[in-house]
């Protein structure tokens, strides 16, 4: 079964607004803490390095990385994210 790109875009457009609200729950806060602990060791040492956030959704990680001085390029299938 092949899923059309338009259907995927439509799905993520519909749930985009919910992401930020859902991310405030205890489960997702813990998830982000654990994820951050695991990925920060792989980040470039120099600030101002360019990082691609592919499938970045509403920009949770892109914003965090930009605040740390990285230049972030975010892309996502949803136009509403």
- Inside any domain, residue 44: yes
Q: Looking at the domain assignment, is residue 64 inside a domain?
A: yes
The residue segments making up the domain with residue 64 are: 5-75
What gap in Å lies between CA 20 and CA 64, rounded to an integer? 14
Q: Which residues of the chain have pLDDT under 70?
A: 80-81
Residue 80 confidence (pLDDT): 67
Structural domain contains residue 81: no
Domain membership of residue 24 (yes or no) is yes
Question: What was the pLDDT predicted at 41?
Answer: 95
The answer to the question of residue 9 being in a domain is yes
Of 59, 20, 48, the residue nearest 75 (C-alpha): 59
Identify the H or E element spanning 36: helix 26-39
- Domains in the chain: how many in total? 1
- State the pLDDT at residue 18: 82
In a domain, 62, yes or no: yes
Q: What is the pLDDT of residues 31-43, one digit of tens each?
A: 999 999 999 999 9
Structure pTM? 0.78
**57 lies in some domain:** yes
Whether 52 maps to a domain, the answer reads yes
């Amino acid at each position: 079964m092949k899923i059309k790109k338009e259907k995927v875009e439509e799905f993520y457009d519909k749930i985009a607004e919910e992401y930020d609200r859902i991310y405030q729950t205890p489960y997702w806060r813990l998830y982000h803490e654990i994820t951050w602990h695991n990925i920060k060791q792989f980040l470039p040492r120099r600030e101002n390095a360019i990082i691609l956030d592919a499938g970045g959704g509403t920009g949770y990680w892109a914003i965090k990385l930009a605040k740390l001085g990285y230049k972030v390029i975010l892309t996502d299938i949803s136009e509403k994210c």
